[in-house]
């Protein structure tokens, strides 16, 4: 164990910090789920990031990345959140599909899809869940029928984040007649293809962040299938590993919030319930523990290990710490907690509402606990 | 930046796991409780023979001069078997203190001998009667006395595998070793209590998993029910997010700054909370059996209770974390805070 940064890592941090200080917009952007304008402003930010070669630092250089390792990725993320840079509108692409493409894609697929993903030219949504296939994802009914060099896609997808404004989706489809985990394939389709209808679903904060997607005889080239035909479940689980394990929620996100919470406490402790200080300390501990755990995971992966079922512990931990942290903030605010803030103010309330989604998306925490119990602890199904 | 254990450390942990696992079984616990004792001379001899008592002792005092991380791995395994002997207090805290104050002290020449330590934060001392000597505190000085030079009163504990004593003593009867690093003793003791907490927690989960696979109700193993699974999964989550804190605290303890102290305190709170969660879940999963003397889950609950409140209560340790949080910068670049400060200092030198 060596918990010091190398001079190269220190220099890298300084380089990231300097670039972000020069480029992060002075005014926060409108939320990317709120309006088309907010979404496009975030796409523009992705282009700016790409102009500095910061689109996705861990990817190979030939696909728009910098070929950096996971410790450097963590340093980048720390500086990114420290700088208050805009949210990553293409997170489903760069953090989930991207690593999966790098693992399972052909060289031609990587060349076609990764560079425009890294630059924000093509923004991705996930099309896995269906009205009858949520936690039980193997219940997917949408179909892909092979017709020469094409697939014909049909079905009904739902809870697709950002699909209202996004350009592409990666969906889970099955060969008709197959059951459960067999016969599924992961296939990409443009959200403006003929036969695709996207309807917005409002979230509890009023934003049109979700969508349902109807597919009627949508034709896509077979080139758009990731991995082998019928390998879809296996690939989805690898994606879910990235999602739960490492990429989706960087520790920096919670460390920024915990530091802000400590500031909120200092400003309000004269009037607030003194017992809340223990919760402020607890929020800091949790964020720090999550960061240390991810440093540990990153080190293990760099030493050749693979992400396993322990990824499920991460998802539970960050989603629960996020709720606790924001509940503490609202408790400190007291009777003012329910008030909608002015633009530019720290929006603890909206962040709290967002945190409530954490135990649901990316596989509900109940499912994660089943995975831990069955695959880590070996309890019977 | 590398958060992995070295091959040597992994082998070391494996050795400790095997040795303690073989020599401190449920059968041993039973026999010791029947005898009303907590020492097994054969096991202690094996511990000594493998050098576990010399890990943290400075080389000039005849020890190996290894670090807290190495010893924390042993402490974790000691927790996993609810080790009754005072290995952690003696070899992890007291002997290194004596070694630092008086490297040539004849007591350190006998690797089988244990040394007890009466820290001002603790009202009692473990195995004080059998210790070759007891380290005592007055006005920051360390005093050394034999058991027959102090007055020991047994203090009954709920943990059937620990023997505790209140100690009264006169400075005139003890050897004054001069000013001692009582803060380091506390940090080490808290860190190793945390490491034991990880082991206690994992054992409690493992015992419950074994039981839940076997025990049938409504025609199925109870471990197939989600209500049971989720208790144990939640305990495992708590363990997974305490372990890296314990490891980082062990690696950083030598810095002796507000961040290092905060991390030790975080480790102590998180690991013993994980142990609390795990041991209570284990008793719950064992059902009425879990509430019986016959099932060993209670041993882990009781040791957890003892370690949670000794070497600084949760409130004491929370205050040390608050001191770090409210006086030092926090945020994503502050995980390894002194690193960031070092880099800033370097940049300032370059710019100057």
Residues 25-84 of A with CB under 8 A from B: 71, 77-79, 81-82
A285, B252: Cβ pair inside 8 Å?
no
pLDDT at B352: 47
Residue B350: inside a domain: no
Which residues in B lie closer than 8 A to residue A13 (C-beta atoms)?
333, 343
* Strand (E) or helix (H) holding A174: strand A168-174
Q: Which domains does chain A show, CATH number per domain?
A: 7-89 (no CATH), 125-230 (2.40.110.10), 249-376 (1.20.140.10)
Residue B346: inside a domain, yes or no? no
Q: b vs e for A338-355, b when ≥16 Cβ sit within 10 Å of the residue's Cβ?
A: eeeeeeeeebbbbbbbbb
Residue B345, domain member (yes or no): no
The conformation of residue A114, written as its DSSP 8-state character, comes to: H
Asked whether residue B114 is assigned to any structural domain, the reply reads yes
| B123 in any annotated domain | yes
Section A281-303 average pLDDT: 96
B320 in the same domain as B208: yes
Kindly state whether residues B160 and B51 are assigned to the same domain.
yes
pLDDT of res. B323: 97
Whether B47 and B143 map to the same domain: the answer is: yes
User: What is the CATH number for B304?
Assistant: 1.20.140.10
Is B158 found in the same domain as B218?
no
A7-49 tens-digit pLDDT: 999 999 999 999 999 999 999 999 999 899 999 999 999 999 9
Distance CA A25, CA A281 (A): 31
β pairing state of A168-174 and A124-127: parallel
| B218 CB within 8 Å of a chain A CB | no
Give how many domains chain B has, as a whole number. Answer: 2
- Could you read off the pLDDT of A55-79 as tens digits, one per residue? 999 999 999 899 999 999 999 999 9
Whether residues A77 and B266 touch (CB distance < 8 A) is answered with no
Mean pLDDT of B255-279: 97
How much is the average pLDDT of B84-108?
96
In a domain, B16, yes or no: yes
Cβ pair A259:B331 closer than 8 A? yes
Q: If pLDDT is split at 50, 70 and 90, which confidence band does A243 have? A: low
> Once rounded to an integer, what is the mean pLDDT over residues B26-45?
92
Of residues A163 and A308, more confidence is placed in A163
Using alpha carbons, list the distances in angstroms from residue A285 to A52, A80, A316, B46, B249.
34, 21, 16, 38, 13
Whether pLDDT at B349 is above 60: no
Q: Would you say residue B339 lies in a domain?
A: no
Which residues are CB-contacts of B320 (< 8 A; sequence separation ≥ 6)? B261, B262, B264, B265, B312
User: Which of chain B's residues have a Cβ under 8 Å away from the Cβ of A258?
Assistant: 330
Indicate whether B91 and B20 sit together in one domain: yes
B173 plus B262 within the same structural domain: no
User: Sign of the CA dihedral B8, B9, B11, B16?
Assistant: positive
What ipTM score was computed for the predicted complex, to two decimals? 0.95
Clarify whether residues B159 and B219 are in a common domain.
no
In the three-class reduction of DSSP (H, G, I as helix; E, B as strand; rest coil), residue A298 is classed as helix
What would the two tokens of residue B308 be?
A: 């949670």
Q: Is B234 on the interface with A (CB under 8 A)?
A: yes
Total H helices, total E strands in chain A: 12, 8
**B19 and B144 assigned to the same domain:** yes
Same domain, B171 and B227: no
Are residue B54 and residue B164 in the same domain, yes or no? yes
Same domain, B294 and B190: yes
pTM of the entire predicted model: 0.96
Mean residue pLDDT of chain A comes to 94
Q: Is the pLDDT of residue A199 over 70?
A: yes
Task: Say yes or no to pLDDT of B222 above 60.
Answer: yes
Query: Which chain A residue's Cα is nearest to B229?
Result: A373
| Residues on chain B touching A290 (C-beta within 8 angstroms) | 241
Q: Confidence class of residue B344 from pLDDT cuts 50, 70 and 90?
A: low
Q: How far is A211 from chain B (nearest CA, A)?
A: 31
Minimal Cβ distance to B241: which of A82, A293, A374: A293
Residue pair A117/A64 in contact (Cβ under 8 Å)? The answer is yes
Q: Exactly one of A212, A243, A310, A366 is catalytic; which is it?
A: A243
Answer yes or no: do B1 and A381 touch at CB < 8 A.
Answer: no
Chain A residue with Cα closest to B323: A281
Residue ranges of A 152-191 with Cβ closer than 8 A to chain B: none
Return the closest-CA partner of residue B69 out of B226, B200, B221, B244. B244
Domain ranges, residue B133: 7-180
Chain A residue with CA closest to B225: the answer is A381
Mean pLDDT of the region B174-193: 97
**Shortest CB distance from A256 goes to which of B224, B230, B331?**
B331
Q: Which of A13, A77, A285 sits opposite B266 (nearest CB)?
A: A285
Q: Is B341 on the interface with A (CB under 8 A)?
A: no
Q: Of B146, B180, B214, which one is at a domain's C-terminal end?
A: B180
Determine the pLDDT at residue B261.
97
Average pLDDT, integer, range B250-265: 97
Where does a domain end: B119, B149, B180?
A: B180
Nearest chain A residue (CA) to B207: A377
Which residue of B lies nearest to A267 if distances are taken between CA atoms?
B326
- Of B162, B180, B198, the residue at which a domain comes to its end is B180
Residues of A in contact with B339 (CB under 8 A): 3-5, 10
Q: How far is B8 from chain A (nearest CA, A)?
A: 12
Closest chain A residue by Cα to residue B341: A10
Place of tokens 């003397």: B293
What is the reported pLDDT for A345?
86
Whether B348 maps to a domain, the answer reads: no
pLDDT tens, residue by residue, B227-238: 999 999 999 999
Q: For position B139, which CATH number holds?
A: 1.10.540.10
| B210 plus B128 within the same structural domain | no
Query: Is position A243 annotated as part of the catalytic site?
Result: yes
Average pLDDT over residues B77-95: 97
Q: Over the stretch A168-186, which tens digit does the pLDDT of each residue have? A: 999 999 999 999 999 999 9
Within the 265-324 window of chain A, which residues sit less than 8 Å (CB to CB) from chain B? 266, 277-278, 280-281, 284-286, 288-293, 295-296, 298-300, 303, 310, 313, 316-317
Which residues of chain B neighbour A8 with C-beta distances below 8 Å?
none
Enumerate residues 6+ apart whose C-beta is below 8 A from A36.
Answer: A165
């Amino acid at each position: 164990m060596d918990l010091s940064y190398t001079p190269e890592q220190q220099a890298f941090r300084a380089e990231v910090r300097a670039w972000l200080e020069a480029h992060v917009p002075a005014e926060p952007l409108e939320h990317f789920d709120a309006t088309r304008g907010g979404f496009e402003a975030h796409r523009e930010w992705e282009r700016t990031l790409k102009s500095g070669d910061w689109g996705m630092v861990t990817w190979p250089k030939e696909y728009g990345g910098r070929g950096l390792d996971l410790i450097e990725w963590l340093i980048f993320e720390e500086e990114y959140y420290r700088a208050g840079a805009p949210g990553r509108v293409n997170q489903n692409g760069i953090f989930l599909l991207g690593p999966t493409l790098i693992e399972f894609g052909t060289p031609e697929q990587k060349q076609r899809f990764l560079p425009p993903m890294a630059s924000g030219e093509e923004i991705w949504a996930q099309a896995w869940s269906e009205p009858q296939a949520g936690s039980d994802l193997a219940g997917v009914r949408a179909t892909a029928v092979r017709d020469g060099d094409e697939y014909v896609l049909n079905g009904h997808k739902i809870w697709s984040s950002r699909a209202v404004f996004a350009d592409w989706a990666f969906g889970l489809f099955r060969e008709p007649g197959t059951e459960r985990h067999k016969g599924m394939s992961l296939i990409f389709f443009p959200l403006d293809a003929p036969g695709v209808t996207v309807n917005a679903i409002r979230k509890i904060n009023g934003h049109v962040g979700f969508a349902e997607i109807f597919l009627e005889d949508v034709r896509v080239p077979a080139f758009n299938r990731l991995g082998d035909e019928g390998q879809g479940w296996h690939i989805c689980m690898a994606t879910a590993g990235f999602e739960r394990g490492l990429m989706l929620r960087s520790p920096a996100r919670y460390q920024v919030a915990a530091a802000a919470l400590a500031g909120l406490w200092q400003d309000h402790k004269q009037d607030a319930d003194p017992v809340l200080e223990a919760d402020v300390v607890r929020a800091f501990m949790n964020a720090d523990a999550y960061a240390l755990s991810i440093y540990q995971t990153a080190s293990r992966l760099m030493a050749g290990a693979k992400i396993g079922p322990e990824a499920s512990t991460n998802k539970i931990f960050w989603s629960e710490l996020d709720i606790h942290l924001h509940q503490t903030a609202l408790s400190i605010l007291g009777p003012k907690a329910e008030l909608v803030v002015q633009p530019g103010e720290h929006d603890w309330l909206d962040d709290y509402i967002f945190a409530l989604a954490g135990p649901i998306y990316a596989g509900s925490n109940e499912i994660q606990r089943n995975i831990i119990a069955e695959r880590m602890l070996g309890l019977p199904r | 930046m590398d958060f992995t254990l070295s091959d040597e450390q992994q082998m070391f942990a494996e050795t400790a796991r095997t040795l303690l696992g073989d020599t401190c079984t449920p059968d041993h616990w039973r026999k010791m409780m029947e005898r009303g004792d907590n020492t097994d001379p054969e096991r202690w001899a094996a511990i000594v023979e493998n050098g576990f008592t010399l890990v943290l002792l400075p080389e000039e005092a005849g020890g190996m001069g290894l670090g807290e991380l190495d010893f924390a791995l042993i402490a974790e395994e000691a927790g996993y078997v609810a080790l009754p002997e005072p290995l952690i207090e003696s070899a992890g805290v007291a002997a290194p203190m004596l070694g630092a104050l008086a490297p040539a002290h004849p007591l350190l020449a006998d690797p089988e001998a244990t040394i007890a330590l009466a820290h001002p934060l603790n009202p009692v001392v473990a195995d004080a009667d059998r210790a070759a000597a007891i380290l005592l505190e007055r006005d920051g000085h360390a005093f050394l006395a034999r058991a027959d030079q102090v007055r020991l009163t047994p203090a009954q504990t709920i943990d059937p595998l620990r023997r505790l004593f209140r100690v009264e003593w006169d400075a005139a009867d003890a050897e004054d070793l001069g000013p001692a690093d009582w803060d380091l003793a506390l940090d080490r003791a808290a860190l190793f209590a945390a490491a034991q907490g990880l082991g206690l927690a994992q054992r409690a989960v493992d015992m419950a998993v074994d039981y839940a696979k076997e025990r049938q109700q409504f025609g199925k193993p109870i471990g197939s029910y989600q209500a049971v699974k989720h208790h144990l999964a939640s305990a495992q989550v708590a363990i997974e997010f305490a372990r890296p804190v314990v490891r980082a605290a062990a690696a950083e303890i030598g810095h002796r700054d507000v961040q290092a102290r905060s991390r030790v305190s975080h480790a102590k709170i998180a690991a013993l909370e994980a142990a609390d969660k795990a041991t209570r879940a284990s008793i719950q999963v064992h059902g009425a059996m879990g509430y019986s003397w016959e099932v060993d889950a209670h041993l882990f609950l009781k040791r957890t209770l003892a370690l949670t409140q000794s070497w600084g209560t949760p409130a004491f340790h929370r205050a040390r974390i608050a001191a770090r949080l409210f006086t030092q910068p926090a945020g994503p670049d502050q995980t390894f805070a002194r690193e960031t400060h070092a880099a800033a200092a370097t940049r300032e030198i370059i710019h100057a």
